[in-house]
Chains A and B, each alone.
Chain A
Amino acid sequence: MKILRQIDSFLARIEQTFLIVLLSVMILLAFLQVVLRNLFSTSILWGDTFLRQLVLWVGFTGATLATRQKRHINIDVFSRLLSDRGQTIVGIVTNLFSAIVCIFLTKAAIVFICDEKSSQSILFANIPTWIFILIIAIGFGLITFRFLTIALENFFHLVKKES
């Protein structure tokens, strides 16, 4: 569990740095585009396309961090009515279920990426489209890992309580 937690916080640090770099690039590039368009009547041809891809990258990185902080949107009505033990068990079930669903989403993303790769589709400037879609597989992969970690945490919490 300790190693898992270390990996988790190590990944989180990388993700955070990555997020901050991407968002800074996004803000600067978006502003540069406005300046170029309005003051110099020109623009970076691939700029807007690239910016929209960045949104996906920033979004999925944010989503894995949101999983880590248990900040995903949910309708939690019942679990607050349960005892501490009940909540822990429910935590194991819901997080395991979430991990399983996210494994299938990751798998679906990988299938899509492989297909896109074989289609040789180009997004702009000779960069193939599948490179940009990678983030969906990476994102769901990391989210799966996070749900598993939380489920395990709950499990150990339960074992410790019982003994």
Chain B
Amino acid sequence: MEIVFIGLIFLLLALFGTPLFVIIGAIALLSFHSVGIDTSAVIVEMYRISNTPALLAIPLFSFTGYILAESKTPQRLVDLSQALFGWIPGGLAVVALVSCAIFTAFTGASGITIIALGGLLFPAMLQNAYSEKFSLGLLTSCGNLGLLFPPSLPIILYALVAKININTLFVAGFVPGVLLLILVSFYCFYKGVTLSVPRTRVTFRNLYKAIKAAIWEIPLPIIVIGGIYGGLFTVTEAAAVSAFYVLIVEVFIYRDIKLSSDVPRIMKESMLLVGGILVILGTALGLTNYLIDAEIPMKILQFLRSFVQTKLVFLIMLNLFLLVVGCMLDIFSAIIVVVPLITPIALDFGVNPIHLGVIFLVNLGIGYTTPPVGMNLFIASFRFRKSILSLYAASLPFLAILLVALIIITYIPEISLWLVNVVGIK
């Protein structure tokens, strides 16, 4: 009774605009207090953030993204992508989609993608006559597709925890990943046509002009993506190089940004974003700590196990369960906590462990953008300065597409296993 009452008050406070980190923090504090554990447990968990491997990439990419967004880079890049892909309906949207996916494959965290690329691609898409709603939805939901492509860290971690071969899982994720990309691309084509985004013919002169204008920005994706794929840089190193490179290029070469007046302002703006995310992430980790301590995920699973009889029902329940988990826990905790628990149950029901891995990753990715509490919605709300409700609305069509894809991937295991069998690795 008491719990319901407190829950309702918190819900009301949240809906009247209390910052989310306050609500999550309050729940975490009360939970620990109620079981007689000192509330400093919340802060212990918050401090664990400083041990996160790719942590440094967050502020560095935020800064890079803000600098690029405030300079004339979006215009130059739109011109370039127009010159290259302007003849395709929805060309820029597909470019945005693919860049977000590739970027997430490296960072392993689609939130960082929104921070790093969102600020650049959002104004570019608006300038290109895409609607605000479509652009927001695309940039918020589609980084997740990259989780399925190598060298995504969640795949590696999943393989380690589930004791399956990393390369097998990389291969298995490829076809489902491409399927997701194709489905969303069709939506982009469709939107490109219905929004009557202007199309242009490819001419050598335009292309030359666009390349010449963006000549200092073209190396950036090559440094970041080529550097990581080529084995030159880790993600954090790529972030450090881009931050430094962009600062030099925009301030001293293009002179779009003034060192004395613009840079401090942009620094501050970008770190407001980092701060806003850090406190939510921190309190959410505090709450996660309680959930694990109280073995809540384990209890939900036991409950599931008690009334699920067939493979089909199991898969449906698994999808629902993982969507909720994807909303609540960060992807790394989710893998460490949930994978050892569901793997034996899934094997009982005859689910292939490789297939299970793919289902798991797709689910968690979608969970990130599922209202009401998907983390990426908050990050995007902060980055684009839009209300969380407008993000719920914007992400819905994409969520629908991704859920359809999820259903296909879940119920047709061959999509995940076909390439594995062709390549012949186990």
Give the docked Cα–Cα distance between A74 and B277 (Å): 12
Known pairs A97-B13, A98-B22, A108-B43; A132 contacts B50 (CB<8 A): yes
Q: Does A138 contact B (CB under 8 A)?
A: no
Chain A 24-65 interface 0/1 with B at a Cβ cutoff of 8 Å (1 = within):
101110110110011000000000100111011011111111
Q: Does B39 contact A (CB under 8 A)?
A: yes
Known pairs A27-B60, A37-B237, A111-B40; A53 contacts B50 (CB<8 A): yes
Give the docked Cα–Cα distance between A48 and B63 (Å): 18
Check B26 against A101 for contact (C-beta < 8 Å). Answer: yes
Chain B 40-57 interface 0/1 with A at a Cβ cutoff of 8 Å (1 = within):
111110110111100110
Check A55 against B264 for contact (C-beta < 8 Å). Answer: no
Binds A, one of B84-92, B265-273, B407-415: B265-273
Chain A 96-139 interface 0/1 with B at a Cβ cutoff of 8 Å (1 = within):
01100110110111011001000000000000000011001000
**Which residues from chain B contact A62 at a C-beta distance below 8 Å?**
268, 271-276, 278
**Which residues from chain B contact A111 at a C-beta distance below 8 Å?**
38-40, 43
Shortest CB–CB separation between residue A61 and chain B, in angstroms? Answer: 7
Check A65 against B387 for contact (C-beta < 8 Å). Answer: no
What's the dominant secondary structure at chain A's contact region? helix
Chain B 279-306 interface 0/1 with A at a Cβ cutoff of 8 Å (1 = within):
1100100000000000000000000000
**Which residues from chain B contact A93 at a C-beta distance below 8 Å?**
13, 16
Give the docked Cα–Cα distance between A58 and B273 (Å): 11
Q: Does A2 contact B (CB under 8 A)?
A: no
What's the dominant secondary structure at chain B's contact region? helix
Check B271 against A112 for contact (C-beta < 8 Å). Answer: no
Q: Does B219 contact A (CB under 8 A)?
A: no
Check A16 against B264 for contact (C-beta < 8 Å). Answer: yes
Q: Does B241 contact A (CB under 8 A)?
A: yes
Check A56 against B50 for contact (C-beta < 8 Å). Answer: yes
Within 23-70 of B, Cβ neighbours of A (below 8 Å) are at 25-26, 29, 38-44, 46-47, 49-52, 55-56, 58-60, 63
Partner of A76, one of B29, B49, B387: B387
Check A30 against B240 for contact (C-beta < 8 Å). Answer: yes
Partner of B381, one of A26, A73, A97, A112: A73
Check A65 against B15 for contact (C-beta < 8 Å). Answer: no
Q: Does B243 contact A (CB under 8 A)?
A: yes
Q: Does A71 contact B (CB under 8 A)?
A: yes
**Which residues from chain B contact A51 at a C-beta distance below 8 Å?**
56
Q: Does A152 contact B (CB under 8 A)?
A: no
Chain B 347-365 interface 0/1 with A at a Cβ cutoff of 8 Å (1 = within):
0000000000000000000
Known pairs A26-B59, A74-B17, A104-B39; A112 contacts B280 (CB<8 A): no
Check B52 against A52 for contact (C-beta < 8 Å). Answer: yes
Known pairs A27-B240, A108-B39; A60 contacts B20 (CB<8 A): no
Partner of B47, one of A23, A66, A112: A112
Q: List 27 A-B contacts (CB under 8 A).
A: A20-B264, A20-B267, A23-B267, A23-B271, A27-B63, A30-B56, A31-B241, A59-B274, A59-B275, A62-B273, A62-B275, A62-B276, A63-B279, A65-B268, A66-B276, A71-B272, A73-B20, A75-B14, A75-B372, A76-B387, A93-B13, A94-B18, A97-B18, A108-B39, A112-B44, A132-B50, A136-B46
